[in-house]
Amino acid sequence: MSPTAALITASFCRRVLKQSYFLHRHHRRRLHSVIEYPLTHPIYTIWASNTSLGKTLVSAGLSMSFLSSSSAPFNSKRFVYVKPVQTGFPDDSDSRLVYRKFSEFFTYKPLPFSVFASNSVLKASSPAANAVLRNGMAGGSLRTEAFGAEVIEKGGNFGGGLENVHWYEERKLRGSESNETESFPASQIVCKTMYAWKEAVSPHLAAEREEAIVGDAEVLHMLKRCLGNGLIGASSNTEDLEVMCVIETAGGVASPGPSGSLQCDLYRNSCGDGRLGGISGTISAYESLKLRGYDVAAVIFEDHGLVNEVPLLSYFRNRVPVFVLPSIPTDMSDDLMSWFDKSQMIFTSLKDIMLSNFQKRMQRLHDMPKKACDIFWWPFTQHKLVPEEKVTVIDSRCGENFAVHKSCNWISQQFDACASWWTQGPDANLQIELARDMGYTAARYGHVMFPENVYEPALELAEILLEGVGKGWASRVYFSDNGSTAVEIALKMAFRKFLSDNKVLLDLVNADVNGRCLDLKVLALQGSYHGDTLGAMEAQAPSPYTGFLQQPWYRGRGLFLDPPTVSMSDDIWEVALPQKMQSGKSGHECLSFNSRDEIFKRSRDGSDLASLYASFILQELHSLSDSNGLSHIGALIIEPVIQGAGGMQMIDPLYQRILVRECKYRKIPVIFDEVFTGFWRLGRESAAEMLYCQPDIACFAKLMTGGIIPLAVTLASDAVFEAFTGDSKLKALLHGHSYSAHAMGCAAAVKSVKWFKDSNTNMNLISESRSLQELWDAALVSQISLLPAVHRVVALGTLCAIELLAEGSNAGYASTYASSLLKNLREDGIFMRPLGNVIYMMCGPCTSPDICRSLLEKVYDRIQEFGLHKDESAVFAA
């Protein structure tokens, strides 16, 4: 009942840095340079659910079948075996076992060419290093052949208790048909142990007891070097070199690595695998790997004659190939040569599947851009302007970063600075948490019907929202799918509330069957954006999105006010007044500020500027009510503090506060569209907190689910809800979508909303002020604002927006002015998209300020460069 099974997953690069969060929260890993990973040859990782010999034998068998397989003549091959973490050393050494079993098998069945074999150990704990120095490698004799050598070199302790131990052995294995003047270079098998500890216990224990600890980042860095070295070896004509790499993990899939991180999390960044265990262990380990986004290429297990493969085959059918190896001799004196011989066909099939999977994957990655151009219809995209080579192939995402496939067959890491759109949220740890929750919720609930029903994820989310972003004013939660639907629902709520507060108008409506005599308008701001469905579009002022060719039904059913904006220019925070207001200015108004915080101060309510704002707002409201008796403002809708799609404009919070005050005074329901601004985007859970006022209705979406799955809510006060109660269903709010309050979206939101506001999981949180710490280095932001190419900067919460100085067709939404700048930044590992001549970066609420600083530095450098080139071309033009 405990067969030896092995399971191999395809190599894929997630990201190379991983925060070992739970155990090493104090070790913040930093992103210093662009991290890249080769995809020029297959790399697989072998995992197991126990510590048996099986996976090492699978590695050895693979090395034999790979190096002996026939291929193009004169191509030499290299098999690289890496054991990142070895305990029980030197008594146990899997890399040595692979090295020796291969050598023995070569002697048993020589290949028709020569092979260089080597094995090395790079670093070890003192006890392990001393054991090697004292006794050499234990167990059996080592015959160094011609050209063979055994080198032990003990280096200095380099901190953490691990020592450099360049233990090295090699031999040349002469092939059956080889002669002294071989016309092509020999093949190679390169075996490496990266880190070794003496005690035969779990790595995290050995590391602790032998005081020789190594962090996750170091392990991954070393692993990359080992795999890289596997490529550029002694052989000069690397083009003809065929390489295959295998990484063997220690223990089981979820066994802790040396830092205590689970191995399946540690290597999520790197490579593939195979593994060993009973039926239950095999399936569970498979599922744990899938839950971390691994592709499993094959499962291998040992035949114990118990027909165990029946349920395994049944489970894995159509999922992954299953191989059955002959029973491994248990007699310790058996040299396993005849077992390897018997197993060769299996190993060859396994190797073929691994190689062909790799080929297929490469082919697919290569073909994807063309296929995408052929069959996708991207939103907001002029396809004519996107040639194949501009398409980004995203192989995976880990936390805030993409793994992007480049045509040169590298996987490169890019920080996703815009997300789709502005959903940037989870760090790597939250992503894995969400993955598990998504699996659980799909299994537990799938999707269930919402109206008149209740289920845990929906109820818990509603409770959390009313205790969070809705605290103090909201009493009801209405679920929908996206920001646009949330806004349409909000407008329906507001209009009904307005009518029920205005009995005269309500009677007018009830008297008129069609009720179309009234013209209900929204009050909104120029530059605002509330979504792309018609109802949401009607609440925005005319823009490139609203032309007749885009939406022939758009009329613009609002009174659109031109608001004052705020931004930093040349290191000074300043208010920019709209044209109309400038003429009404008395000259006493203070328009510049010493700091961003000053802008948000409530004391500004008594300023001259406040009076100016109030008088202009009243003037506009009167202009409408004068025009005719049937037009009425039925709702105010604003994006609090920052207008997103309108170009990342910060509106003077004083102006918005006065606007809300005036509307509340007139019983015009107030809607806050927090789809973009909500959930810490601007440094507070709700942007309303920064305005010091509360809406009657508010819309949330995007980041609410941690940015992984669509879900929206419209929160409402009790007074709004009451406008819909009555005896008839026809008085109810008749708006809904199939996936109203779908369980997975609610579960993702429950996890994320909690995660972001818990200082145990979000280290950016300042609990006392219920705000995020400053993420964007203030000095760097100031410097950027001083660059000649920069018009203005707004850095607030997770957002840093920069408007480039541009004129004419270079400005505005359709401008491609920033494209060369963004292209360079992608080379630097930052994925951004522009809003015309406005560029911006966005991080998650948990992203460390160190990462933000590193991004900002790159942006600073590239804008400086961009400005110089621009000036140069200007000089040339002049």
Q: Which residue shows structure tokens 């200015």?
A: 585
Residues 550-569 that bind a copy of itself (CB under 8 A): 550-553, 555, 557
Query: Interhelix angle for 503-511 vs 483-501, to 10°?
Result: 100
CA-closest candidate to residue 671, choices 453, 524, 839, 509: 524
Q: Which residue shows structure tokens 């093949």?
A: 187
The 495-514 site mask, x for binding a copy of itself (CB under 8 A), equals xx--x---------x--x-x
The 593-632 site mask, x for binding a copy of itself (CB under 8 A), equals ----------------------------------------
CA distance 109 to 111: 7
Among 135, 238, 280, 769, binds a copy of itself (CB under 8 A): 280
Tell me the window of 35-43, 538-546, 581-589, 611-619 that interacts with a copy of itself (CB under 8 A): 538-546
Among 355, 466, 763, 786, binds a copy of itself (CB under 8 A): 466
**Residue 786, φ and ψ in degrees, nearest 5:** -85, -10
- Give me the amino acid identity at 874: A
- Give me the amino acid identity at 792: R
In 767-848, where does DSSP find H-type helix?
Answer: 778-786, 819-827
406 makes contact with a copy of itself (CB under 8 A): no
Min dist. Cβ of residue 407 to a copy of itself (A): 13
Task: Say if CB 83 and CB 248 are below 8 A apart.
Answer: yes
Among 180, 452, 597, 768, binds a copy of itself (CB under 8 A): 452
Tell me the window of 29-37, 333-341, 432-440, 767-775 that interacts with a copy of itself (CB under 8 A): 432-440
Min dist. Cβ of residue 317 to a copy of itself (A): 7
293 makes contact with a copy of itself (CB under 8 A): yes
In the complex with a copy of itself, which residue's Cβ is closer, 814 or 874? 814
Among 135, 420, 819, 873, binds a copy of itself (CB under 8 A): 420
Residues 511-530 that bind a copy of itself (CB under 8 A): 512, 514-516, 518, 520
DSSP state of 670: E
Element of type H or E holding 637: strand 631-638
Task: Say if CB 236 and CB 227 are below 8 A apart.
Answer: no
736 makes contact with a copy of itself (CB under 8 A): yes
CA-closest candidate to residue 336, choices 90, 61, 5, 83: 61
Q: Which two tokens stand for residue 594?
A: 């010493």
CA-closest candidate to residue 58, choices 363, 296, 313, 324: 324
Among 372, 572, 576, 610, binds a copy of itself (CB under 8 A): 372
Tell me the window of 605-613, 650-658, 709-717, 779-787 that interacts with a copy of itself (CB under 8 A): 709-717
CA distance 874 to 67: 60
Q: What's the burial of 158, exposed, middle or buried (CB within 10 Å: 0-12/13-18/19+)?
A: exposed
Among 227, 297, 716, 796, binds a copy of itself (CB under 8 A): 716
Min dist. Cβ of residue 430 to a copy of itself (A): 9
User: Taking the CA of residue 340 as centre, how many other CA atoms within 13 Å lie in the half-sphere pointing to its CB?
Assistant: 25
Tell me the window of 55-63, 120-128, 291-299, 601-609 that interacts with a copy of itself (CB under 8 A): 291-299
The 1-30 site mask, x for binding a copy of itself (CB under 8 A), equals xx-------------------xx-------
Q: What is the 3-state secondary structure (H, E, C) of 150-189?
A: EECCEEEECCCCEEEEEEEEEEEECCCCCCCCCCCCCEEE
681 makes contact with a copy of itself (CB under 8 A): no
Q: Which residues contact 181 (CB under 8 A, 6 or more apart)?
A: none
CA-closest candidate to residue 564, choices 549, 552, 581: 581
Task: Say if CB 380 and CB 418 are below 8 A apart.
Answer: no
Among 130, 392, 569, 864, binds a copy of itself (CB under 8 A): 392
User: Taking the CA of residue 300 as centre, how many other CA atoms within 13 Å lie in the half-sphere pointing to its CB?
Assistant: 31
CA-closest candidate to residue 196, choices 275, 130, 262: 130
Residues 67-106 that bind a copy of itself (CB under 8 A): none
472 makes contact with a copy of itself (CB under 8 A): no
The 195-234 site mask, x for binding a copy of itself (CB under 8 A), equals ------xx-xx--x--------------------------
CA angle 526, 529, 531 (to 5 degrees): 150
Residues 250-269 that bind a copy of itself (CB under 8 A): 251-256, 260, 262-263, 268
Residues 348-367 that bind a copy of itself (CB under 8 A): 364
Tell me the window of 162-170, 189-197, 335-343, 382-390 that interacts with a copy of itself (CB under 8 A): 382-390
- Give me the amino acid identity at 101: K
In the complex with a copy of itself, which residue's Cβ is closer, 31 or 691? 31
Beta strands in 206-294 (DSSP E): 242-248
In the complex with a copy of itself, which residue's Cβ is closer, 336 or 434? 434
Q: Which residue shows structure tokens 């029980």?
A: 88
Q: Which two tokens stand for residue 411?
A: 């996987």
CA angle 158, 161, 162 (to 5 degrees): 65
CA-closest candidate to residue 521, choices 495, 484, 542, 545: 495
878 makes contact with a copy of itself (CB under 8 A): no
Among 81, 479, 655, 840, binds a copy of itself (CB under 8 A): 479
Q: Which residues contact 606 (CB under 8 A, 6 or more apart)?
A: none
Min dist. Cβ of residue 4 to a copy of itself (A): 14
Min dist. Cβ of residue 680 to a copy of itself (A): 16
287 makes contact with a copy of itself (CB under 8 A): yes
Among 27, 34, 51, 154, binds a copy of itself (CB under 8 A): 51
Min dist. Cβ of residue 658 to a copy of itself (A): 27
371 makes contact with a copy of itself (CB under 8 A): yes
290 makes contact with a copy of itself (CB under 8 A): yes
Among 168, 339, 410, 739, binds a copy of itself (CB under 8 A): 739
Would you put residue 713 in left (φ > 0), alpha (ψ -120 to 50) or beta?
A: beta
The 740-779 site mask, x for binding a copy of itself (CB under 8 A), equals x-x-xx--------------x-------------------
Residues 800-839 that bind a copy of itself (CB under 8 A): 813-814, 816, 831, 833
Q: What is the CA radius of gyration of the chain?
A: 32
Among 168, 339, 410, 445, binds a copy of itself (CB under 8 A): 445
Residues 155-174 that bind a copy of itself (CB under 8 A): none
Min dist. Cβ of residue 552 to a copy of itself (A): 5
Tell me the window of 66-74, 130-138, 227-235, 732-740 that interacts with a copy of itself (CB under 8 A): 732-740
- Give me the amino acid identity at 81: Y
Among 369, 646, 683, 849, binds a copy of itself (CB under 8 A): 369
CA-closest candidate to residue 370, choices 337, 407, 404: 407
In the complex with a copy of itself, which residue's Cβ is closer, 244 or 462? 462
